[in-house]
Amino acid sequence: MVDMRSKKETNKEADLALVRRAKKGDYRAFDLLVLKYQSRIISIAFKYVKEIQLAEDISQEAFIKAYKSINSFREESAFYTWLYRITANTAKNYLVSKGRRKESSFSEISTSENEDYFDMPTNDSPEQILMAQNLRNTIHDALSSLPEDTRTALSLREFEGLNYEEIALIMGCPVGTVRSRIFRGREALENLISPVADKFKVINNKEII
Amino acid sequence: MNENIKERISALADGELSEFEVRRVLEEIEKEPVLRDYWDLLQITRRSLANEDLGRLDVDISERVRRELSGRKLHSSEGNSSYTRYKSYLAATAGLALVIGINFLVTTPNTTIDSFSEEASQTIANAIASPEAMEVLNNSVLGIDARLKDFNYVSGGGMHANYVFPENGRTFRVSLTPVMSEYKPKRSPELRRAFIKTDKGVFVVSVSGNITDEKKSRILQNANYFSNQIK
């Protein structure tokens, strides 16, 4: 019988290999974590300061702080949760230092250590939300066109949060085959997402037609 | 970029590599920056699949953070967005075949990827069916110091060409959108679009993105001029 863990638990574990390399001073590992989380971290910072340039600066500072203090991350929460808290605190400190807000007025954005932030919305504009939805629709449409074995392996990984060994047990195939199927499925989706994601990236610019 | 390393990066994203393998993959990524871009796109794909918040995909601070963490000077080309580099790589390695593949999959979502090759020649023929439109597109940016980043075909016969200003990394897009034959374009008091009539129908040229009004007008004037030349 497969012991299924939560999807969030699997996500948390997925970051640990990189976190542990970063703890050994390997900035390349941390760089991949920056790439993975930067868009969400900037959104969080933006929620506080309402200016994109400021949000970028605060996010950069938060990432630097996180790297410098990564040995204090005890791996009890998800890395993203920890990073979220650093970002929120950096933004709050900035606003307090500028006298733009009183410290006591930040209660609406929780920064509890044990809270899970993966599903927290980031107050994007209606356009961004619409484009994100288009991106998702495109991917989900493409998913249905994948060969069945590929689709099943990818779905078990992405939707059910199973690890490769668990998927191999369910599908009755070697772990290497699971790894290969998941990779092939992602390849197909990535080729498709490229133009749609590109459109998303210029969403802040208005069409003039 | 070989498939083996990409497969290992995919496994890294799932936390399925040993410590030794992680180290090896990081070394490979350091040697080959396009692999870093592959990782970036992989994350967007995964978050889209999981319906997670995508956040601000339009902003990239990773280079700034990386520069500060690594203490290295980056080459100017590294200052481009990672997404741009990845797409350039795709263009160099997969070229038109990939664009065709994407287009084909978008327009026929129930077809498997294996059928790309069977339909490729027909899709090529359709995609480049309007050389006049392509000519106008190419000429529209004359006199503008911009570099073509990539272009892609969209369902319905449209096309987007994405450009970047090398001086500041800002991007803009020139789009060709087909309109139905019965479409009667309204004359706008401001010069905001151009129209190209070809034997494949009428296309609207529009410009969007991080670009000044002056340059937008210049591009559309170019498009108008060259579309008049081909009529």
Domains and CATH numbers, chain A: 1-120 (1.10.1740.10), 124-209 (1.10.10.10)
pLDDT > 50? residue B112: no
Q: Percentage of residues in chain A with pLDDT exceeding 70?
A: 73
Domains observed in chain B: 3-90 (no CATH), 94-127 (no CATH), 128-230 (3.60.90)
Average pLDDT over residues A130-137: 75
Contact B64, B34 (CB under 8 A): no
> B19-31 vs A7-23: helix axis angle to the nearest 10?
70
| Measured distance CA(B106)–CA(A11) in Å, rounded | 29
Put simply, whether B105 touches A (Cβ < 8 Å) is yes
User: CB B101 to CB A191 under 8 A?
Assistant: yes
Q: Is A31 exposed, middle or buried (0-12, 13-18, 19+ CB in 10 A)?
A: buried
**120-149 of B, contacting A, C-beta below 8 A:** none
Average pLDDT over residues A39-43: 91
A98 to chain B, minimum CA–CA distance in Å?
Answer: 23
| Measured distance CA(A50)–CA(A41) in Å, rounded | 13
Which range has the worst mean pLDDT, A24-38, A153-167, B80-94, B134-148?
Answer: B80-94
For the stretch B67-90, pLDDT in tens is 787 664 433 333 344 433 433 443
**6-25 of A, contacting B, C-beta below 8 A:** 7, 10, 13-18, 20-21
pLDDT at B202: 60
Put simply, whether B72 touches A (Cβ < 8 Å) is no
Chain pair A-B, CB pairs under 8 angstroms:
248
For the stretch A157-167, pLDDT in tens is 988 889 999 99
Q: What is the mean pLDDT of chain B?
A: 66
User: Contacts of residue A60 in chain B, CB cutoff 8 Å?
Assistant: 61, 64-65, 68
User: Contacts of residue A168 in chain B, CB cutoff 8 Å?
Assistant: none
ipTM confidence score: 0.81
Specify which residues A126 forms β-bridges with: none
pLDDT > 50? residue A1: no
- Of these ranges, A109-113, B13-17, B30-34, B55-59, the one predicted with the greatest mean pLDDT is B13-17
**147-186 of B, contacting A, C-beta below 8 A:** 150, 152, 154, 160, 162, 171-173, 175, 177
Say which residue, B98 or A74, is predicted with more confidence.
A74
B207 to chain A, minimum CA–CA distance in Å?
Answer: 7
User: Contacts of residue A180 in chain B, CB cutoff 8 Å?
Assistant: 7
